[in-house]
Amino acid sequence: QALAQGSGTLHAQGRPEHPAPPAPLGGGMSASPETAGEAAGGANEAGSGAPAAPLAGRVGRGLLALLAAEALLVVARWRTADARGALLMLTVVAVGALAVSVGPRGSVDEVYGGYYGLMALVSGLLDLNLAIENFVWGEWRHVRASSAKMSLASFAKPMMYLVCALAQLLSAFVAYLLYKDAERDGELDASEPVLATPHQARIYNAVLSHSERRASGQTSQPAILAPVKPFAGSAHRLP
């Protein structure tokens, strides 16, 4: 009777005898702690792993601008009767254009970019040598012998060589940066694990264990041979 009175009191106060079960998450599917941990880890990776702008895309646009400037310098050298220098610089620009056109979208090909960097370095050093030689042994000696005032026209050719040298040396430096960036990306790809998440590792282990069990079950069962049918014909002896 005391228990009945207590339960009646609880019903009167509006309190249920048994607490209601918690509502399931996600429309009837309960979320396990393991699934919740994976979801939280994925959210953290999505929030903190936003990829930055690649170096190849940013530097590649600068390399395109340098190639355009070098093409204009090739025309200027040809107009100033420097055919050999113009042809040499045209070869360097052609290799650079090939590196940009063959490479993936918005990037530069690694192999041709390395070739372009080496050729631009050598050609830039040669143009720097020409600029110093023309300034020291050409125009400066002519101005000193004539005892005339120094004019800007006398420095036009050495300055053009100097600008060509600076443009090509800067292109070689940019190509070096692109090569080092590609090399670093290759090292990161080589060191990246095949199974990036624990969920993928569990799936791989489950499939591997299932295939091993199937293989062991097939080897343990003996092969069922067909029944041997006796020979019912007449025997013949070969000569």
Give domain limits for the chain: 55-189
Q: Is the pLDDT of residue 40 over 80?
A: no
Query: Which of 164, 152, 160 is CA-nearest to residue 134?
Result: 160
Residues 6+ away with beta carbon under 8 Å from 100? 60, 63, 64, 67, 108, 109
Q: What is the DSSP letter of 213?
A: H
| pLDDT one-digit tens code per residue, 125-149 | 999 998 888 887 765 565 555 545 5
Q: What is the DSSP letter of 17?
A: S
| pLDDT one-digit tens code per residue, 43-87 | 444 444 434 345 556 777 888 888 999 999 999 999 888 889 899
168, 123 contact by CB (below 8 A)? yes
pTM exceeds 0.95: no
Residues in the chain, overall count: 239
